[in-house]
């Protein structure tokens, strides 16, 4: 198999596959961290911390009890 005019053997192909898997895992971890950051921003404790620190920002609307429950926040 050739890629950009260079012949790839089994070890090179395995290295490429491994690097792609690491990239996918890294992106998944990054998305998880962003999810935690988003969750903290939406939480009442995070809102209170932002207000006490004087950080400007729009607060999210309070959760409504009439809609379906959020599986990420079962205690609401």
Residue 8 has pLDDT above 80, yes or no: yes
Number of domains within the chain: 1
* Residue 19 in this model has a pLDDT that exceeds 90: yes
Angle, in degrees to the nearest 10, between helices 44-53 and 10-42? 80
- What is the span of the domain harbouring residue 49? 25-55
Distance CA 1, CA 5 (A): 9
Q: Is residue 65 part of a domain?
A: no
| Whether residue 35 has pLDDT greater than 60 | yes
Average pLDDT, the chain: 77
- Domain assignment of residue 14, yes or no: no
Q: What is the DSSP letter of 5?
A: T
- Of residues 66 and 21, the one with the higher pLDDT is 21
pTM score, two decimals? 0.45
Nearest to residue 47, comparing CAs of 35, 34, 61, 36? 61
Query: Of all residues in the chain, what percent carry a pLDDT higher than 90?
Result: 21
Say if 18 falls within a structural domain: no
């Amino acid at each position: 198999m050739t890629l950009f005019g260079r012949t790839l053997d089994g070890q090179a192909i395995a290295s490429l596959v491994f690097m792609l898997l690491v990239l996918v895992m890294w992106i998944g971890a990054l998305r998880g961290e962003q999810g935690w950051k988003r969750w903290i921003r939406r939480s009442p404790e995070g809102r209170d911390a932002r207000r006490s620190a004087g950080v400007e920002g729009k607060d999210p609307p309070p959760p409504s009890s009439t809609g379906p429950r959020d599986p990420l926040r079962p205690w609401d």
